[in-house]
Structure 1
Amino acid sequence: MSSYLVRHRPVADPALRLVCFPHAGGGAGFFRDWPGHLDPSVEVVAVRYPGRESRIGEPLIPTMDALSPQIAAALLAETPVPTVLLGHSMGAAVAYESLLRLEAAGAAHVTRLCVSGRGLPAPAAVRPPRTDEELIAAVTSLGGPHAALWDDPDMRELFLPVVRNDFRLIDSYRRREDAPLLRADVMTLTGDRDPRVTPLGAQAWSTVTTGAFTSHVLEGDHFYLVPHAARVARLAVDPHGA
């Protein structure tokens, strides 16, 4: 298996594969417990970006055009089974770009893109680089399971390069105006108190696909999916049955 992919629960003959893309600064371990929320026939795979966890010695990748083709190639090398991609925050944009490349390569087994905690990226001017203090302020304003680590100087020194890289990637990323429409269905998931994206703003994702579009609003902020992990996992697998 590619170093980009981590199977949190290997399944010999999966009926469905759920591929999860972490947020900026996040790692594959964020989804470690998700297999316990799903039927044993569902294989849960998480994307592990370079420069963190077991890949900490590898160079970080600061652009979407360099990152998403490598992830798409890793997914194309897997045995094709019905697959759902789910990305949270930055991971939603990475999942979308990876899916564009999968479909361009002829892959038809990805049936759904689940977009969590992110509005549709609009073609616009690239955001200027942020200072370290601006990065930390942006991250801490969103909360999340590791917000307190920024109070520890050693942890701050360890994680800041990863966050700096990921924000550079997402701040410089702009969706192509001529991007083809997806064939896969699209589902959005949004916290009702998310400061970054409103449920109405998430509706713009309906314009990127010829497939079905569904949306769900859950109670919480940008990291609403932490307390609602079980429901989010089940919605990703079946938008109408969770």
Structure 2
Amino acid sequence: MTSSVQEKSAWIQRFHPSEDARTRLVCFPHAGGAATFFHPVSAALKPDIEVLAVQYPGRQDRRTEPVVRSVEELAHRATEAMRPWADRPLTLFGHSMGALVAFEAARRLADEGAPPLSVIVSGRRSPTSHRDENVHRRDDRGIVSEMARLGGTDPRAFEDPELRALLLPVIRADYEAVETYRYRPGPALPCPVLALLGDADPVASVEEAHGWAEHTSAEFALHTFPGGHFYLNDHAAAVITTVREHIASRSA
């Protein structure tokens, strides 16, 4: 039965409640992204796997709340929100910035003696594969240009002045969180890590994605798909099948 603590969490969106689900997949959005990005994933995986989508402050129903400019703080607060949902095995999935937030959340859960079933990281190089980037310091035009380069955001959204004014501060804050993140040395995760990547992703090479293997003492696998940073939009069915099979192999 769902507790009142679960229902009240602003951090967790639950699109297709499933009291009979054997396991849960907690999804962390990319920079500028929102929980609704994972609505199709929730629809595809129900009822066996219940999807919980993390909603960061500053967007959609939380648009009046101050943004968070730190991966570590996002992970800390998301972990707090996840605890009431840990009555069933949790797998964490994050795309791009969300991969780092999911990883840091998994580290916190592991430190508490309750690691997730698995961690799935998408479209992101490993935490120790550093690049000097400064998108968050660019002017508005520079940020819009980066969004166009990566895809995933309808460019028409930036043509509307009101929508642009809502989106750009959130995107800038998210990029600040990612670009100022520095890996804090610690134990490797005791759970498996699955890395997913587009083979033409401009922000993560195959070699950099392989670096995730250093951050687990359990199994590691890397699956590549044709495409760029938002390969998962073009290959949604294949990605969802990969995720479903990965979770099933861990929860059997």
RMSD over equivalenced CA pairs, Å: 2.0
* 1:185 partnered with 2:192: yes
Q: Mean alpha-carbon deviation: is it higher for 126-135 or for 110-119?
A: 126-135
Specify every segment of 5 or more residues in structure 1 that has no aligned partner in the other structure, as ranges: none
CA–CA separation in structure 2 for the residues paired with 1:115 and 1:147: 26
Q: In the aligned structure 2, how far is the partner of 1:124 from the partner of 1:117?
A: 14
- Alignment correspondent of 1:116: 122
Offset of 1:87 from its aligned partner?
0.4
Give 3-state SS (helix, strand or coil) of 1:20's partner.
strand
Describe how 1:1-242 pairs up with structure 2 within 5 A: 1=6, 2-108=9-115, 110-122=116-128, 127=133, 129-132=136-139, 133-176=141-184, 178-239=185-246
Deviation at 1:37, TM superposition (A): 2.0
Check the 8 A contact 2:16/2:46 in 1, yes or no. no
- Greater percentage in helix: 2
Q: Is the 8 A contact 2:72 2:101 kept in 1?
A: no
- For the 8 Å contact 1:21–1:47, the answer to whether it is kept is yes
Rounded Cα–Cα distance in structure 2 between residues aligned with 1:81 and 1:57: 32
What SS does structure 2 have at the residue aligned with 1:46?
Answer: strand
Letter in 1 for 2:90: T
Percent identity, please.
38
CA shift in 2, pair 1:73/1:215, >3 Å:
same
Shift of 1:14: 1.6
The alignment of Structure 1 onto Structure 2 pairs a total of residues equal to: 240
Q: Is this contact kept in 1: 2:31–2:174, CA < 8 A?
A: yes
Instruction: Specify whether residues 66 and 11 from structure 1 end up closer, same or farther in structure 2 by C-alpha distance, changes over 3 A only.
Output: same
Q: Which residue type is aligned with residue 153 of structure 1?
A: P
Contact 2:16 2:51 (8 Å CA) reproduced: yes
Native 8 Å contact 2:18 2:46 kept in 1: no
Aligned-partner SS, 1:8: coil
Q: Which moved more, 1:39-48 or 1:161-170?
A: 39-48
SS at match of 1:77: helix
Q: Which amino acid aligns with 1:159?
A: L
Aligned equivalents of 1:185, 1:19: Cα separation in 2? 15
Q: CA deviation at 1:154?
A: 2.6
**Would the alpha carbon gap of residues 231 and 210 (structure 1) be closer, same or farther in structure 2, given more than 3 Å must change?**
same
Residue pair 1:84, 1:237 contacting (<8 A) in 2 also: no
Q: Please list the CA deviations of residues 180-207 of structure 1 after superposition, one character each: whole Å capped at 9, or x if unmatched.
A: 1101100011111111112222111000
Where do 4+ consecutive residues of structure 1 move more than 6 Å? Answer: none
Q: Contact between 1:4 and 1:49, CA under 8 Å: does it hold in 2?
A: yes
Contact kept? 1:8, 1:35, Cα under 8 Å: yes
Describe the shift of the 1:144–1:236 C-alpha distance in structure 2 as closer, same or farther (beyond 3 A).
same
